[in-house]
A and B are shown apart, each in its own frame.
Chain A
Amino acid sequence: MTIQQNTFRSGPDERGHFGIFGGRYVAETLMPLILDLEQAYKDAKADPAFQAEIDNLNTHYTGRPSPLYFAERLTAELGGAKIYFKRDELNHTGSHKINNCLGQILLARRMGKTRIIAETGAGQHGVATATVCARFGLPCVVYMGATDVERQKPNVFRMKLLGAEIVPVTAGAGTLKDAMNEALRDWVTNVADTYYLIGTAAGPHPYPEMVRDFQSVIGTETREQILQAEGRLPDALVAAVGGGSNAIGLFHPFLDDPQVAIYGVEAGGKGLEGEEHCASLNAGKPGVLHGNRTYLLQDDDGQILEGHSISAGLDYPGIGPEHSWLRDTGRVTYVPATDNEAMEAFQLLTRVEGIIPALEPAHALAQVMKLAPTMYKDQIIVMNLCGRGDKDVFTVGKLLGFDL
C-alpha cells in the first residue's frame, strides 16, 4: 500500500488497490489487455494533446461546464440549508455518462481499437456510448439486461437510432450485473479489435481510476462555481451511487476538505430489512466480482444476489471499489433511500423547480430532503443532478396510475 496517510486522493496504488479494495481479478485472457490499457491510459494522461481534445469536446459537444444552480424554491420549501444542483442532466445525452465516454473513446482510438462494447442498466451509459461511437464512426454493441430493455424502452430506441446493436441478456434477473457478465464474455472472445467501454467507476484496474478521472470534471467545476457563488466550499455534498461514477466525480476533488461532509445515497429499494434493495455498502460485505474486490450483495456461500431498485441505473449488487474504501475509512457516509422516497423526491423537484430528474438523482434528492431541514440557513448543500427524467416518465407514470 502506497496510499499516503494525509490524503484521500492518492489512490489507487500501483496494483490498483484502494486499501483492500479494487485490484484486477480477471481471467488470464484479459490480463494482457488490461495491462495494455493501463499503459495506454498512463501515456494519454501524460499527453497534453489528449486532455486538450477532451476539454474541447466537453465544451463544444457536451456543453460543459454544466451550471451550478441555486434551487431557491426548493430551499424555501425544505426550510434549511441552501441547495445547489450541479446540472449534469443538461449535458448532451442527458446525464453525466458522456463525460466518461468521451475520455474512453479517445483512448480507444489512440489504442487503435475498431469496435466498442458496453454494458448498460438504465440505458444512459448505453446512449452515451452509442453517441460517441456515432460521433467517431465506430461500431457499437451494447449489452443490456432483458428486464432493463423492457423498462427503459425510450433509451433502447435512442441507441438503435444512433446505430448501436442492442443485445438483450436473459441470464439471471436480466439486469446490469448480467449485462456486465455478457460484455466480459464478448471482450474475452474479441480481444484483438475490441475496446470495452465500462460505464461506472468499477471493474478491474485501471477502470475505477480512469472513470473517476474523466468524471472528476464534475467536482472540479463545482469547486470553482461554488467559490464564485458563495465564496466558500459547501458544507455537504450529496450524490446517488449505483456503481458510483457520478458520485466519485463530484466527491473526489473535495475528499481532502474535512469541512465538507459527503453523502452517497444507495438504492434502498423496498427497504433494507428484506432482500429487495441495492444497498451494497449498507447491507453487503466485501467480495470479488467483475474484476474488483468491493462490497457486494451476496449470500453466506458467496453467491451474488440480485438487487432491486425502481431505478435501473442503481440496480447493481456491487459498487466501485473506491467507494468501499471511502466507506471503511469513514470519509464518506453512505445512506439508503427507498423507492418510495425517491418517487416523492422526483415529484417534488418537478413541481417546485420545474426540473424532471432521473430516478437515480431522485434518490440523492431524497437524502437532501432529510438533510436540509436539519441544517442552518446559511449552510450549503450541493447535489449532483446527474441525469434527466425523460427516460423514466413511463416507469413513473405506471406507478402513479397514468396510462401513457
Chain B
Amino acid sequence: MSDTRIDRRFAALQAANRPALVTFVTAGDPDLATSQAILDALPAAGADVIELGMPFSDPMAEGMPVQLANQRALAAGQTMDKTLDMVRAFRRHDQDTPIVLMGYYNPIYVRDPAVFVKMAVEAGVDGLIIVDIPPEADDELCLPAMAAGLNFIRLTTPTTDDKRLPAVLANTSGFVYYVSVTGITGATIANRDRVTEAVRRIKRHTSLPVAVGFGVKTAEDAEVIGRDADGVVVGSVLVEAVRTSLGGEGRATDATVEAVASVVRSLAEGVARARG
C-alpha cells in the first residue's frame, strides 16, 4: 500500500472522525492570477482535498456552471502547462493539502500520457480523475499514473452495479468518488437516502474512503452527506461564486477570491457538523 498525501489526509480525518471537504475549482478561471489566488486560499477556508479542473473545450459530463468555467479559463488563455505551474506555485507554501487534477483525456493524450504523468508528479500533483477513460482502458493512463506514484481516482455511479463495481475499483486508489446522481455536475440530489445506501454498498467492496459529489450545494447538504461519506465534493457552487463575482467584461474583481473562500468556509462548517 502506497502512502500518498491523499492517503495521509484521509487517515488523519478519519482519526478525527470528520469527513473531508473536497473542493473543485477550474484552473485559470477567471484568469490565471485570480485562479492561483483562489487555489492558494482554499486550505485556510477549510478545503481538505483540492480538485483542480483542467479546462477542456468539450466537457461532456459538466452542467452549465462548470461548462462556463471551462470557457472562461480557455478564453483567458489557460493551458496544461499553466495548470501544472499553478500546482507548482501552490506546493511552495503547502506541502500537505492533496491536489487532484480532474478533467478529460484528450489534453493528456495529445502530449503522451507517460510524459504528462511525469510532469504532473514533478509539479506536485497527487492524483487524477479523468472522466472519460473507463477501467477497460486502464493500460493507457491509469496504470502508468499509478506506477509513477499518483493516485487514480475512479468515478462510480448509480449505474455501476455490484457486478461491475469490482472491475471499477480494481485499479482505484486514494479514494472512490461516488457520483450521487445519473446526470451532469450541478444536478440536484433527489434522494439522500439512496446516496447513503450507495455509499454503504461501495464500502462493502473496498476499504478506500468514499467521497460523494455531483449535487452538493449547501452546508446542510454537506452535513447530511458527510454523515456516511468519507468526503463531500463541491464544485458547481464554487465556480458559480466565481461567475457572480465578476465585473464588467467578465473580469475578476476584488471580491472574487473572497466570494469562493466564503462559500468554502460555510461548507466546511457543514462538514464539521456532520458527525457532531
Binding site for B on A (CB under 8 A): 15, 23-33, 171-172, 177, 181, 184-185, 188-192, 285-291, 293, 296, 298, 300-304
Contact = CB atoms under 8 A, between A and B. Distances in A.
Interface of B: 56-61, 63, 67, 74, 79-80, 104-111, 131-134, 136-137, 154-161, 164, 168, 179, 182-184, 187
A28 B80 contact: no
Given A33-B159, A286-B109, 14 more contacts: A15-B136, A23-B137, A25-B134, A27-B60, A27-B132, A28-B134, A29-B158, A29-B183, A172-B58, A184-B60, A188-B182, A189-B184, A288-B132, A302-B111
A317 B115 CA distance: 26
27 contacts: A15-B136, A24-B134, A25-B133, A26-B134, A27-B155, A28-B155, A28-B156, A29-B159, A31-B134, A33-B159, A181-B58, A185-B60, A185-B63, A188-B183, A188-B184, A189-B183, A287-B106, A287-B110, A288-B105, A288-B132, A289-B106, A296-B106, A302-B109, A302-B110, A303-B56, A303-B57, A304-B57
A293 B108 CA distance: 13
A285 B164 CA distance: 33
A302 B156 CA distance: 26
Contact of A177 (B58, B80, B160, B179): B58
Nearest to A34: B134
A185 B185 CA distance: 10
Given A185-B184, A303-B56, A304-B58, A28 B160 contact: yes
Instruction: Please report whether the interface of chain B is mostly helix, strand, loop or mixed according to DSSP.
Output: loop
Nearest to A182: B60
Nearest to B161: A32
A302 B136 contact: no
Nearest to A23: B137
B161 A303 contact: no
Contacts of A177: 58
B131 A27 contact: yes
Contacts of B164: 31-32
A26 B132 CA distance: 4
Contacts of A300: 110
User: Which of A285, A289, A302 has the most chain B CB within a 10 Å cutoff?
Assistant: A302
B110 A32 contact: no
Given A29-B179, A31-B164, A191-B182, A301 B107 contact: yes
A255 B79 CA distance: 41
User: Which of A15, A24, A30, A185 has the most chain B CB within a 10 Å cutoff?
Assistant: A185
A317 to B, nearest CB: 9
B106 A302 contact: yes
A29 B61 CA distance: 10
B60 A298 contact: no
B189 to A, nearest CB: 13
B159 A181 contact: no
Contacts of B160: 28, 31-32
A290 B161 contact: no
Given A185-B60, A189-B184, A24 B159 contact: no
Contacts of A192: 182
